[in-house]
Amino acid sequence: MSLLKGKRALITGVANRWSIATGIARQMHEHGAALAFTYQGERVKDEVEKLAAELGGGPVIECDVASEDSLARLAPALAQFGKLDALVHSIAFANKDDLAGKTHGTSRGSFGLALDISAYSLIALVQALHDQLADGSSIMALTYLGATAIVPNYNVMGIAKAALEASVRYLAFDLGDRGIRVNAISAGPIKTASARQVAGLSKMLDVVAATAPLRRNVTPDDIGKMAVFLASDLSAAVTADVHFVDGGFHAMGMYPPPQ
């Protein structure tokens, strides 16, 4: 079944083939979507271009979400691609030193950087692409349980994800009169390049696999399947919410005793 046939999606945040954004792109392509990609910096350009060539050969555009000039060039670069039916925000950053130890050790500059790149960037992309988004389109952002619950070492990134989730709700209200839905996907921990910056990730993966109701960790493809649903007409009345794809771990009140 091609749930996204005839739809066009912009994917941000691909770093390599293990990225959550890559899993989303593959699932959307499998369901018939035409894809465009952004990348930030020459370091990842080749990987993103290679993925785009595998998934339909759509445009690949450099975009630094911290640069107003770069954002201003995004919509014109997408003009020939056409109106967007889906926008995937998979962008986050914090200094590695802030993803270990104590939250109160975060400097003012590091705090601002994490909030700017990880949360404000969603608002910035919506500003830049406001006229490029089709009425009835779907915007989705990637978040994590650390936005609403304590995850040791996630620290300032948890604060940034909380801001991102609040932004999702307010944008959903602002854009609802055009039928545009805005949602967040809260993914379970996955061993991506960015997640490996969080101290103790391996232990987190072990805990989730042992205690989540489904007794396993999730994959980028699992996240991609939720993204397909949110981009499809099946989610036409779904907006302003956070959708957990974590094997049910978020619902656990305490760990079950050892067997």
Our answer to whether residue 144 is catalytic in this structure is yes
In whole angstroms, give the CA distance from residue 56 to residue 46. 16
- Alpha-carbon torsion, ordered 184, 16, 11, 23, to 10 deg: -60
Residue among 39, 154, 170, 255 flagged as catalytic: 154
DSSP state of 258: P
- CA torsion sign for 74, 76, 81, 84 is positive
Distance, CA of 150 to chain centre: 20
DSSP state of 95: -
Q: What string of DSSP letters covers 38-60?
A: EE-SHHHHHHHHHHHHHTT---E
**Which residues have CB under 8 Å from 179's CB, separation 6+?**
135, 136, 137
Residue among 39, 144, 170, 255 flagged as catalytic: 144
Q: Given the DSSP bridges, would you call strands 133-143 and 181-187 parallel, antiparallel or unpaired?
A: parallel
Our answer to whether residue 255 is catalytic in this structure is no
Angle, CA of 178, 179 and 183, to the nearest 5°: 120
Token reading at 5: 């046939």
DSSP state of 174: H
In whole angstroms, give the CA distance from residue 243 to residue 229. 11
Query: Are the C-beta atoms of 37 and 234 separated by less than 8 Å?
Result: no
Q: Which residues are tagged catalytic?
A: 144, 154
